[in-house]
Structure 1
Amino acid sequence: MKLRWIILCATTIALATGAIWYVYRTLSLQPSAAGTAVKDTSQPSVRTVNGETVVVVAPDAQRASHIEVTSLIDAPREQTRPAYATVLDLQPLFDLRSRFAAAQADLDTLTAQADNSRDQYARSRTLFEDDQNVSRKSVSDANAMMRANDAKLRSAKIAVAGLGATLRQQFGEALAAAAQAPTSRVMEHLRAGQATVLRVTLPAGNGTDAPPQITVDSPDGKTLPAQRLSAAPSTDPALQGQPWLYLVSQMLPAGTRTLANLPATGAAKASLVVPGGAVLWYGGQRWAYVKTAPDSFTRRFVPGSGDGDPSVSHTPGFHAGDQVVIQGAQLLLSEELKPRGIATVCKDPPECDD
């Protein structure tokens, strides 16, 4: 009995000693684990520095996330002035060209007939005067035929000249010349839908001439080069200015109203060019992330002119040499907007689903 009591006491003391040792080890290891968690900088974090929100990403995490940056540079940008432009309906031009071609063919035929009639009359008259080898009636008939063909020729010339004048009055000198030519590359491109003619109304006081090369905004937001043709013979009643015709090597819907960009006088202005890949949209505005330290990124507002121009003026947020993120900006935005300070009892959220 005494031996059993001794064994029970020894067992109790051993269990108590083990429990005390387990509690001691647990409490002594907790601060060390917490310290290790605090020192773990592999995960991105967000902090506020000088009133700006900074996303902190370690260099190793930047490489793993393929975050790339490039430096802003000052680039000269040509100043432009806007002007209104309208795409012309070219069906009347094609119709007039067909009529002109038919009238020109008639003119060529009547010219040949008139030449032949004059030759026939000359031969008949010579034979009549040479001992009356032909009758007087033959000479008279040849003369009448010559006069009739000459009258038809004059009428055909008037018709061709009238169609030419109509072409110049409606479409200007350059298009009129192209429409009257037997073969014209401009007309071929226009008929094939590979080019478009625009009437650009230059601002009043622009001078007597127009720039030989301009750009116009297409409906899909692109900028297209345009080549000057000639002064436009008619203007838009709703616009005041000097109308000119320009050729664009792309099909645009007839009647489309758009903007033309005219070169402005004066030296080109230097601007900071922000690459298109650096701009992201948030809250209906344009932003770009600037790398302010080896592990820090700050989102800054990108002012825009609203016409798709990728350049920005010199603002406090951007300077030449600043490094902007051109790849991975959306990842930084997601990290910046991620909710903070939300804890969960379950370490594995899918396991918490009911």
Structure 2
Amino acid sequence: MKYRLFLFCAVTLALLAGACWYIYQTLYSSPPARSTPAQAAPQPTVQTVNGETVVVVGADAQRASHIDVAPLAAVSVQPDSSAYATVIDLQPLFDLRNRLAAALADCDSAREQAAASRAQYERSRVLYADDRNISQKSLQDAQASMQAAQARLQSADAAQGALAATLRQQFGDALTSAAMAPGSALFQRLMTGRAVVLRVTLPADHNEDAPARITVDAPDGQPVAAQKLSASPQGDPAVQGNPWFYAAGRALPVGTRTSAHVPSSNGSTSALVIPERAVVWYGGQPWAYVRTAPDRFTRRYVPAANENDQGFVVTSGFHAGDAVVMHGAQLLLSQELRPQGIATACKDPPECDD
């Protein structure tokens, strides 16, 4: 009996010890090791190196953002200079042309009357000389009529000449010739608004002759071709230089002041041109990003004054072979301007749009 009691107590203690060990292992032992996920790719950062702001973007982020670069190569460009251009009001030209047309008609009528009166006087003179077949008074009347017609013709010629001189004094030889020529194609385009006249003031130190063709900037920024007409007899009181008249085949508001690009006759030269697709605008100025290292990009200023149909001509700040960002510059600008040092609970900030 005592042996059974002892055996029962031993089994009970063994079971109690096993239960306690299980509870200890379950509640207090360290959890099993878990596999750590792969470290996420570093996000783009902004640094300041030697006074320049540098955007650091890893290779994986560049591929994901489709950031592409291309080496900057020298191209052949036509050098030009800038000049001031103003769209002039042509209403005085049209008014003078109408007055000139009326003066021409009066001149033709006076010329016909003078010719008829002279013929009548010659007939009367012959009849008077032939045994006085007409009276002396009739001859004198014919002579007076001839002289009056001749005076009217001289007056009409003087009026026509004065109007033509006024036209030339205000609008030059080319526009005056177009106004006086019947059926002038140039004058028809001007009257219908399909062309305008600009007064382009070339710099005073422009030693070359005015080029036959130039381009001017329209209000929408598009270049407009213009063809030389003649020298302008009147200059722009606000600009000193050599004024010339040019005709542009596009309707532009009267009084518009814009810039003209005057090509040089020295031929083309080699220069660096930043393509327009590589330029981003910030603060009202154009910029371009250059990759200075495999993962570093720097923003550089692009002079906007030397823009042409190929892009932005640069003479400083860039060098041949520079890796200029052609696609993705706007993303780099957004990253550069993004506030730094702000914590976020999202693991992938570009994806945290919600």
Same fold by TM-score, threshold 0.5 exceeded? yes
TM-score range, shorter chain: 0.7 to 0.9
Name the counterpart of 1:113. Answer: 113
Name the counterpart of 1:56. Answer: 57
Name the counterpart of 1:312. Answer: 314
Tell me which amino acid in the other structure corresponds to 1:313.
Answer: T
Q: Which moved more, 1:194-203 or 1:88-97?
A: 194-203
Once residues 332 and 240 of structure 2 are traced to their aligned partners in structure 1, the CA distance between those partners, rounded to angstroms, is: 50
- Following superposition, the deviation at residue 278 of structure 1 comes to 1.4
Once residues 77 and 334 of structure 1 are traced to their aligned partners in structure 2, the CA distance between those partners, rounded to angstroms, is: 32
- Following superposition, the deviation at residue 168 of structure 1 comes to 1.1
The one of 22, 33, 37 aligned to 2:36: 33
User: Secondary structure in 2 aligned to 1:215?
Assistant: strand
The aligned runs of 1:42-191 (5 Å cut-off) are 44-46=43-45, 53-59=54-60, 62-122=62-122, 142-191=142-191
The aligned runs of 1:248-267 (5 Å cut-off) are 248-264=248-264, 266=266
Change in 2 beyond 3 A, CA 1:134/1:15: farther
Change in 2 beyond 3 A, CA 1:343/1:210: closer
Change in 2 beyond 3 A, CA 1:233/1:154: same
TM-score normalised per structure 2: 0.76
User: Secondary structure in 2 aligned to 1:211?
Assistant: coil
Q: Does structure 1 retain, via aligned residues, the 8 Å contact 2:84–2:202?
A: yes
Name the counterpart of 1:299. Answer: 298
User: Secondary structure in 1 aligned to 2:36?
Assistant: helix
Change in 2 beyond 3 A, CA 1:179/1:118: same
- Following superposition, the deviation at residue 140 of structure 1 comes to 5.5
- Following superposition, the deviation at residue 163 of structure 1 comes to 0.9
Q: Deviations over 1:269-306 (max 9, x none)?
A: 4322112221223456543223456x624023124154
Q: Does structure 1 retain, via aligned residues, the 8 Å contact 2:57–2:296?
A: yes
Q: Deviations over 1:87-139 (max 9, x none)?
A: 33322111100100111122222333333444445556666777887777666
Q: Deviations over 1:222-268 (max 9, x none)?
A: 44333222222233455544332222333444444444443446564
Q: Deviations over 1:25-58 (max 9, x none)?
A: 1xx32xx416x22xx33x6433759766343244
Once residues 16 and 68 of structure 1 are traced to their aligned partners in structure 2, the CA distance between those partners, rounded to angstroms, is: 60
Q: Does structure 1 retain, via aligned residues, the 8 Å contact 2:117–2:142?
A: yes
TM-score normalised per structure 1: 0.76
Change in 2 beyond 3 A, CA 1:116/1:258: same
Q: Does structure 2 retain, via aligned residues, the 8 Å contact 1:224–1:248?
A: yes
Once residues 150 and 283 of structure 1 are traced to their aligned partners in structure 2, the CA distance between those partners, rounded to angstroms, is: 73
RMSD: 3.8
Q: Which moved more, 1:93-102 or 1:218-227?
A: 218-227
Structure 2 stretches of 5 or more lacking a match? 1-7, 350-354
Name the counterpart of 1:16. Answer: 24
User: Secondary structure in 2 aligned to 1:175?
Assistant: helix
The percent of aligned pairs where both chains have the same amino acid is 49
Tell me which amino acid in the other structure corresponds to 1:200.
Answer: V
